[in-house]
């Protein structure tokens, strides 16, 4: 399997008043296509920053990050947006749906070639049959997260990045969401990276990476 994402001595430095904080301090990491990785660590360990750079939402201060061999710092903002839309699916902790749109409209929002049947089929697979026209406010947390996952998958991305996807769910719903992600990885070969501080959720992954102070410790 070829390398999908590569972190090469990546540093990310923020200014907090006078002080400089290193959110990432020389991160080296390579993830292969078709892998399922969980990233764990206490808050402030840099795992969110790691995910933002992996999702091209943020740029390294130093070092290089490549996705599919492309150095993201060399891409225009338009090319970055196209990569996000075509290759990357995001699953956020706080669901982050458009409250004014129906579940189906939310799923289809980033869709490149509008295909109603495809969107419905995907939602059915996520256990959302019959919820097409409900608005996010009318759905439970678990259901909202399934809508988010459907939206993340609508353009058949090569990688799904999930930031605490089970953070706001009870353990039953959390396991169901992790099961869906595991299925996607095993059956569809989608590369998955999950950032979590929930050990139980992390166990679904094939590999667990522990982060601390902006570096990988195991």
Partner 1 sequence: MNLYKMAFNNIRRRKLRSALTMLGIIIGVATIVVLVGITAGATSVVKEETSSLMYDVTISPSLSSGSSLMDNQTASKVESYPKLYNVTEFTGFQETINGNDVTIQGTNNWKQLKLKTGSSGVVVDSGVAEKLGYTVGSKVKIKDQDMTVTGIAKENGENIYVDQSLAKQMADNKVSAITARTYGDPKTVAEDLQNNITGVSAQTKSEKVAEVQDMVNQSMLFASIIASVGLLVGIISVINTMLISVMERTKQLGILKAIGFTNGEIMGSTLFEAGILGFLGAVIGVVIGAVGIFAAANALHFTDYMSEMLPVWLIVTVIVGSTVLSILAGLYPARRASKLNVVEALRDE
Q: Which residues within the stretch 84-113 sit at the binding site for partner 1 (CB under 8 A)?
A: 84-86, 88, 90, 92, 96-98, 100-101, 105, 108-111
- C-alpha span between 36 and 27 (Å, rounded): 19
- # residues near partner 1 by CB under 8 A: 29
Length of the chain: 218
116-125 and 141-153 are packed helices; what angle lies between their axes, rounded to 10 degrees? 130
In this chain, which stretch among 28-36, 49-57, 171-179, 190-198 interacts with partner 1, using CB under 8 A? 49-57
Backbone angles phi, psi at 196, to 5 degrees: -155, 160
Close Cβ partners of 162 (under 8 Å, ≥ 6 residues apart): 90, 91, 181, 192, 193, 194, 195, 196
Q: Which residues within the stretch 167-196 sit at the binding site for partner 1 (CB under 8 A)?
A: none
Q: Is 190 helix (H, G, I), strand (E, B) or coil?
A: coil
- Report if residue 58 touches partner 1, rule: CB under 8 A: yes
Among 6, 52, 75, 120, binds partner 1 (CB under 8 A): 52
Q: Which of 16/172 has CB closer to partner 1?
A: 16
**Contact map string, positions 114 to 153, toward partner 1, x by CB under 8 A:** x------------------------------------xx-
- C-alpha span between 108 and 127 (Å, rounded): 17
- C-alpha span between 142 and 176 (Å, rounded): 8
* 32 in Cβ contact with 51 (< 8 Å): no
* 91 in Cβ contact with 149 (< 8 Å): yes
Q: Which of 96/158 has CB closer to partner 1?
A: 96
In this chain, which stretch among 53-61, 62-70, 185-193, 200-208 interacts with partner 1, using CB under 8 A? 53-61
Q: Which of 55/165 has CB closer to partner 1?
A: 55
In this chain, which stretch among 65-73, 83-91, 171-179, 205-213 interacts with partner 1, using CB under 8 A? 83-91
Q: Which of 32/121 has CB closer to partner 1?
A: 121
171-188 and 141-153 are packed helices; what angle lies between their axes, rounded to 10 degrees? 20
**Which residue ranges make up the site for partner 1 (CB under 8 A)?**
52, 55, 57-58, 77-78, 81-86, 88, 90, 92, 96-98, 100-101, 105, 108-111, 114, 151-152, 155
């Amino acid at each position: 399997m070829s390398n999908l994402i590569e972190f090469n001595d990546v540093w990310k430095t923020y200014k907090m008043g006078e002080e400089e904080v290193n959110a990432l301090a020389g991160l080296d990491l390579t993830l292969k296509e078709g892998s399922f990785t969980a990233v764990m660590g206490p808050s402030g360990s840099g795992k969110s920053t790691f995910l933002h750079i992996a999702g091209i939402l943020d740029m390294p201060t130093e070092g290089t990050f490549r996705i599919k061999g492309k150095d993201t710092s060399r891409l225009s903002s338009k090319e970055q947006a196209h990569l996000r839309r075509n290759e990357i699916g995001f699953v956020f902790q706080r669901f982050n749906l458009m409250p004014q749109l129906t579940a189906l409209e939310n799923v289809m929002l980033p869709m490149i070639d509008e295909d109603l049947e495809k969107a419905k089929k995907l939602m059915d697979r996520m256990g959302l049959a019959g919820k097409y026209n409900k608005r996010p406010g009318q759905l439970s947390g678990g259901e909202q997260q399934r809508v988010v996952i459907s939206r993340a998958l609508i353009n058949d991305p090569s990688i799904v990045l999930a930031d605490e996807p089970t953070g706001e769910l009870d353990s039953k719903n959390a396991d169901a969401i992790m099961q869906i992600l595991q299925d996607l990885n095993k059956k569809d070969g989608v590369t998955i990276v999950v950032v979590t501080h929930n050990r139980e959720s992390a166990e679904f992954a094939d590999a667990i990476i522990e982060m601390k102070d902006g570096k990988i410790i195991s």
